[in-house]
Amino acid sequence: MNILFLNITLNWVFKLYKEYIYSIKEFIDKYYAHKSINIKIIHIEADDEIKIKRFMNNNCNNDCNNDCNNNCNNNCNNNCNNDCNNNCNNNCNNNCNNNCNNNCNNNCNNNCNNNCNNNCNNNCNNKDENENDIIFSKILEYDKIFYTGTIEMLNTLIKKLELSQSPISKLFFFNIEQMSHPSYYKMIRKIDNLINIVDYTEENIPFFKDIYKNTYLIPPYFNISNNISIDSKRIDILSLINNKYRETIISKIKVTKKQQICLLKNCYGDIRNNYYSKTKIYINIHCSEEHKTMEMIRIVNLIMNKVIVLTQPSICSDIIFLKKYLFICNDQDDFTFEIQNILNNYDLYYDKIYGDFNQDIYLNYLLTCYDKLINDLFE
């Protein structure tokens, strides 16, 4: 089975969930290899109007060949006529120059234009081949399409599929937004209820379950080394301050001068993971007051790195599989108290939370979630 993960989002947005998307491919490749599932991941910058236009209109060949052939014909005719006239005139006497030129030019132009146009078409087709990942017709070759991006673009994809008489059931929408945010939920409700929904967190699933035909929970997966130990923990407090709301909340939490605190803004991949592996406590602040869903893509990574997570409350934390690893703090005073209490007794807390930590428990949970999706893919 061939599956396309198609992402049409802004670059900075793609950075936020890129690892989640690639981790799904990694997980399927590792645990479902016997199913022969081939996944291709593509990202198109949402601001790249040219690529999106070519992708949706599938008009590369027409536009390219028209422009290319016009330029080619002009250059080819000029060069070809000059060469042909010289050769022809040398072989003909003065009396037949006119006839010879006419015949020679016609033959030469035909041969020259054919060769030139062939070269031009090949160049254009090669351009298509190099960029075939953004040509809509290629999408139809995939058995399933998992899409992330705007609802408007999703609806355009649906119309394209309908026009090509392809079943809508082959289309899956990857939701990476928080349904606790009113505007996000309102946006999602614009999706046709026949579309399959894939989501990253337990807290979003109730928003979809009774509305959409098929809803799948695919929690984040991070393959972290088991070598992380208490001895590697040198950063007392870590948090994210990439917006004013988070920065304001963090500034109100009291810490002592002796405590080493590290605040990140734009940090991804291995560099960020290196911080996680060395951190004792992470303070999880939502993006705004309207965001009330737990940031599980980040939190799962923290837990796998054996970080103690202090977090603001969320809309339904009781249904989160990893809830026992979360310390809920309702206000700044709660954060301050828990930080001091944990750091003063860190060895005790670390041993209590991660002393018997077993990644296999979470792995089995993931397999249960994935099994439902994988089985339905082959129905």
- Supply φ then ψ for residue 38, to 5 degrees: -105, 120
The residue ranges of DSSP E strands in 36-92, in sequence order, are 38-45
The residue ranges of DSSP E strands in 136-291, in sequence order, are 144-149, 171-175, 196-199, 215-217, 235-240, 261-264, 279-284
Residue 171: beta bridge partners? 145
Q: How many Å separate Cα 302 from the centre of its chain?
A: 21
Identify the pLDDT of residue 139. Answer: 81
**Residue 202 in contact with residue 314, Cβ under 8 Å?**
no
Tell me how far apart the terminal alpha carbons of the chain are, to the nearest angstrom.
Answer: 12
Residue type, 89: N
How far is it, in rounded angstroms, from Cα 3 to Cα 42? 11
Stretch (H or E) spanning 197: strand 196-199
Nearest to residue 268, comparing CAs of 27, 13, 48? 13
> What SS3 state is found at 150?
coil
Give the chain's residues under pLDDT 50: 59-117, 119-134
Q: Residue 245: exposed, middle, or buried by beta-carbon count in 10 A (0-12, 13-18, 19+)? A: middle
- Supply φ then ψ for residue 196, to 5 degrees: -75, 135
- Supply φ then ψ for residue 62, to 5 degrees: -65, -50
Give the CA radius of gyration of the chain. 30
User: What value, to the nearest 5°, has the Cα angle with vertex 169 and ends 166 and 175?
Assistant: 120
How far is it, in rounded angstroms, from Cα 360 to Cα 364? 6
**Residue 296 in contact with residue 320, Cβ under 8 Å?**
yes
Stretch (H or E) spanning 13: helix 11-31
How far is it, in rounded angstroms, from Cα 310 to Cα 283? 5
> What SS3 state is found at 253?
coil
Q: Residue 313: exposed, middle, or buried by beta-carbon count in 10 A (0-12, 13-18, 19+)? A: middle
How far is it, in rounded angstroms, from Cα 340 to Cα 255? 8
Q: Please name the residue that has the structure tokens 């750091």.
A: 343
Residue 216: beta bridge partners? 198
Q: Is-above-0.75 flag for pTM?
A: yes
Nearest to residue 14, comparing CAs of 46, 39, 38? 46
Helices 332-344 and 346-354 cross at an angle (nearest 10°) of 100
Identify the pLDDT of residue 57. Answer: 66
Cα dist from 307 to 60, 230, 321, whole Å: 50, 10, 17
